[in-house]
Amino acid sequence: MKTFFRKQLYILLAVMACFAFLHQAMPIEEKEKEIIGNVYPGIDVLAERNFDVLKGKKVGLITNHTGISRDGKSDIDILFETKDLKLVCLFSPEHGIRGNADEKVDTAKDEKTGLIIHSLYGKTQKPTKEMLEGLDALVFDIQDIGTRFYTYIGTMAYAMRAAKEYGIKFVVLDRPNPIGGNKVEGGIPTMDMCGGNTCILPIPTRHGMTIGELAQLFNDHFKIGCDLAVVPMKNWKRWMYLDQTGLIWENPSPNMKTLNGAILYPGCGSGETTQLSTGRGLDRPFEMYGAPFADANKVAANLAKRKTPGVRFIPYSFTPTAKYHRFKDEICHGVFVILYDREALDSVTAGLHMVQAFYESHPDLYNATGGYATETGDKETWDLLTVQKKTPEEIVAKWKPAIDEFKKLREKYLLY
């Protein structure tokens, strides 16, 4: 019996030694992954620094329900309770201060603090002189999702311009790019296509930058020129997706409910500017795409013949329920996108394949709106996919030189 246990002990020791050897032999990037779950957003770092950049200042806070500390406490409460500064007012982006409005919102009052909430997605998208009266600083803390046409980065750019115009300091509390900071994909729109919240400045569809890094790019390269300070995160690495940070997933907007939906959004999400529903109101929007006129089996069969690494498209029918959105309460037929390898995925290429498959399956019924050019970043995209019958890979190859230039440009502004 003793011999048996001695053998078991030797085996255990051998396994442990082998594991230790492999651990030592890991590449640097593997060792770095030991910090998974240990990321602190900018609000925590600011508190650790005793709110140094805001001391003695009258502050306006641009935020929503995603502006929270690592332990889930709202920025609103943190700054309101801090004695070294005075929180004067709040500003809300699209979907409102609580992130649950799916329409334009009006100015309101915060029930807990009594502070006025100025809407930046109602009568105006840019803070006005009256809104900024008496402020020394604007603080921005909202969770972005890493896609050009998601409106929060537009809200930030408008606010930065207002801060420059009225001589107010602008402070960004940085947060992770939830879909990672390495991949850069999609078209880069020309300047004449830019100017609205869904295409504020000419950057790639999937930009691979944090909100703080984008603020630096906007301020310097695009010459906003405000008095900018970025409070960086602690322990975030570019390879990290949000589920590797240890931070809470809060739906950034009512219909951005899953990380998979966010990863697919830069490519497949642009399908919403065609005649497709994205399943708004359901549990997994932006993971399903369809229309009442579509043949789900036909579209899925078309996609099965294509090379779309990282995803599979399966026939799927659903009934969107979100108020004000396309095909509400109508049965839509199309595909569900199964994401099985996010590292292998090129989300933009996959989205081009999906749109082209819907068109080839229903050429007389399926069309796009003008927003498709804006979201893909190229006025020719629809024509290339449909009339010229170019492959998605050919279209992406056309965009590559501009993407390579952007990657060089952004290096100057990366914080991590």
Note whether 246 and 274 are same-domain residues. no
Instruction: State the residue range of the domain holding 321.
Output: 259-407
CATH number of domain containing 160: 3.40.50.12170
Exposed e or buried b for every residue in 334-362, given b needs 16+ CB within 10 A? bbbbebeebeebbbbbbbbbbbbbbbbbb
The Cα 299–Cα 305 span in angstroms is 10
State the alpha helices, DSSP H only, in 333-378: 347-361, 371-376
Whether 67 and 211 map to the same domain: the answer is yes
Query: Dihedral of CA 250/256/261/264: which sign?
Result: negative
- Clarify whether residues 238 and 266 are in a common domain: no
Percentage helix, strand, coil for the chain under 3-state DSSP, each rounded to 5: 35, 15, 50
- Tell me whether residue 323 is in a domain: yes
Same domain, 161 and 195: yes
- Indicate whether 236 and 109 sit together in one domain: yes
**Within a domain: residue 25?**
no
CA atoms of 284 and 258, how far apart (whole Å): 7
Domain count, the chain: 2
186 and 130 housed in the same domain: yes
In this structure, are 192 and 327 located in the same domain?
no
Cα(121)–Cα(94) distance, integer angstroms = 5
pTM of the model: 0.89
Q: What is the pairing mode between strands 86-92 and 108-109?
A: unpaired
Judge whether 224 lies within some domain: yes
Q: How many CA atoms lie within 13 A of 171 on its CB side?
A: 22
Q: Which residues pair with 117 in a beta bridge?
A: 90, 108
Distance between CA atoms of 294 and 299, rounded to whole angstroms?
A: 8
37: how many CB neighbours lie within 10 A of its CB? 12
Integer Cα distance of 226 and 41 in angstroms: 23
Q: Are 88 and 114 in contact (CB under 8 A)?
A: no
Q: Copy the structure tokens of residue 34.
A: 């030991």
Q: What is the pLDDT along the chain (416 residues), one digit of tens a residue?
A: 444 334 443 344 343 333 333 333 344 455 455 578 999 999 999 999 999 999 999 999 999 999 999 999 999 999 999 999 999 999 999 877 865 555 566 678 888 899 999 999 888 999 999 999 999 999 999 999 999 999 999 999 999 999 999 999 999 999 999 999 999 999 999 999 999 889 999 999 999 999 999 999 999 999 999 999 999 999 999 999 999 999 999 999 999 999 999 999 999 999 999 999 999 999 999 999 999 999 999 999 999 999 899 999 999 999 999 988 899 999 999 999 999 999 999 999 999 999 999 999 999 999 999 899 999 999 999 999 999 999 999 999 999 999 999 999 999 999 99
Same domain, 320 and 347: yes
* Alpha-carbon span 385 to 367, nearest angstrom: 11
Q: Are residues 347 and 306 in the same domain?
A: yes
User: Does a structural domain hold residue 70?
Assistant: yes
Greatest CA separation for the chain: 85
- 276 occurs within a structural domain: yes
How does DSSP assign 34-82, residue by residue? GGTT--B-HHHHHHHTTTGGGTT-EEEEEE-TT-B-TTS-BHHHHHHH-
Q: Are 223 and 159 in contact (CB under 8 A)?
A: no
Mean pLDDT of the residues in the chain:
91
Domain-embedded: residue 362: yes
In-domain check, residue 33: no
Domain boundary among 227, 251, 275: 251
Examine residue 31 and state whether it is found in any structural domain, yes or no: no
**Do residues 47 and 186 both lie within one domain?**
yes
Question: Residue 160 corresponds to which amino acid?
Answer: M
Q: Which residues partner with 335 through β-bridges? A: 289, 315
Residues 300 and 375 reside in one and the same domain: yes
CA dist 354 and 373 (Å) reads: 16
User: Which of 251, 268, 294 delimits the end of a domain?
Assistant: 251
Q: How far apart are CA 339 and CA 259, in angstroms?
A: 11
Task: Give the CATH number of the domain where residue 365 resides.
Answer: 3.90.1150.140
| Last-in-domain residue among 220, 251, 282 | 251
**357 in Cβ contact with 386 (< 8 Å):** no
One domain for residues 224 and 285 = no
**For 296-336, what is each residue's pLDDT tens digit?**
999 999 999 998 999 999 999 999 999 888 999 999 999 99
**Contact of 249 with 262, CB cutoff 8 Å:** no
